[in-house]
Amino acid sequence: MNVLFVANDLQHHRKLVVHSRTHSGEKPYKCHVCEKAFSQSSSLHRHMIVHTGDKLYKCSLCNKSFNTSSSLQRHKRRVHSYSRPYDCRYCGKLFKTNGDLKCHVRIHTGAKPYSCTHCSGRFTRHSQLKRHLLKSHNEGTWLTCNICQRKFTRSDLKLHLLRHGVKPYACSRCPKCFCTVHELKSHQLVHSDYKQFCCGLCGKDFKSQYTVKQHFKKRCNQLSFSDV
């Protein structure tokens, strides 16, 4: 029997076994720290970094480090890149990642793909479902702020900690730092010529939603906001 044929056959069999777990829900690889289970050993290996705290992938544009290469690449696209190659077919709005576009499109379609197994609740984002499960059904783990001892969900704790004076999002063009990615993105428009907001009355373009609103109030106040 041809050795190459046997090797290819074995590889195909392994892929088939892994794929079958998608349907069966089998997760034979379990984390010995938190008992979370995975369908593939590679997924378990990536997960273990959560417990070790290792951040081997450092951004060359700022001082942030990440657990995985994919997290680093996502950070560079969202924070340091001005390229927006993904456009919404409903409204034309541009996005940096395909994932951001998919979440945005649900605003137009009304799709809520994440459903609660305990009640009829449905959600647009997975993070919304996780917050709902924790707050409404006590499924999940509350995390405690080590500064004020208040309890939060994982995503809410990250935002809360920023309010204690930590500003981890640094601008690559100047020394300014910000509490959230959103604040950093808004600031980065100062360094860019990109103007995505337009006055509906006079056609003048602006970098931010705030500045176009101020323009409406001061220069085009005869146009009410309800008509915009």
CATH, residue 150: 3.30.160.60
Give domain status of residue 184, yes or no: yes
The percentage of the chain sitting over the pLDDT mark of 70, rounded to a whole number, equals: 82
Per-residue pLDDT at 118 = 92
Please give the tally of structural domains in the chain.
2
> Would strands 37-38 and 57-58 be described as parallel, antiparallel, or unpaired?
unpaired
172 and 148 fall within a common domain: yes
Q: Which of 224, 226, 200, 194 is nearest to 212 (CA)?
A: 200
Pick 184 or 166 by higher pLDDT.
Answer: 184
Give domain status of residue 48, yes or no: no
Structural domain boundaries, residue 204: 197-222
Q: In this model, does residue 51 exceed pLDDT 70?
A: yes
Per-residue pLDDT at 1 = 46
203 and 183 fall within a common domain: no
Pick 21 or 8 by higher pLDDT.
Answer: 21
The percentage of the chain sitting over the pLDDT mark of 90, rounded to a whole number, equals: 8
pLDDT interval class at 151 (50, 70, 90): confident
Give domain status of residue 151, yes or no: yes
Helix 126-137 and helix 154-162, axial crossing angle in degrees, nearest 10: 100
- Are 166 and 184 contacting, i.e. CB atoms less than 8 angstroms apart? no
pTM: 0.46
Give domain status of residue 204, yes or no: yes
Give domain status of residue 86, yes or no: no
Give domain status of residue 157, yes or no: yes
Q: In this model, does residue 159 exceed pLDDT 50?
A: yes
206 and 184 fall within a common domain: no
Averaged over 100-124, what is the pLDDT?
91
- Are 89 and 83 contacting, i.e. CB atoms less than 8 angstroms apart? no
Q: For the ranges 65-69, 70-74, 77-81, 148-152, which has the lowest average pLDDT?
A: 77-81
Give domain status of residue 85, yes or no: no
Q: In this model, does residue 183 exceed pLDDT 60?
A: yes
Give domain status of residue 41, yes or no: no
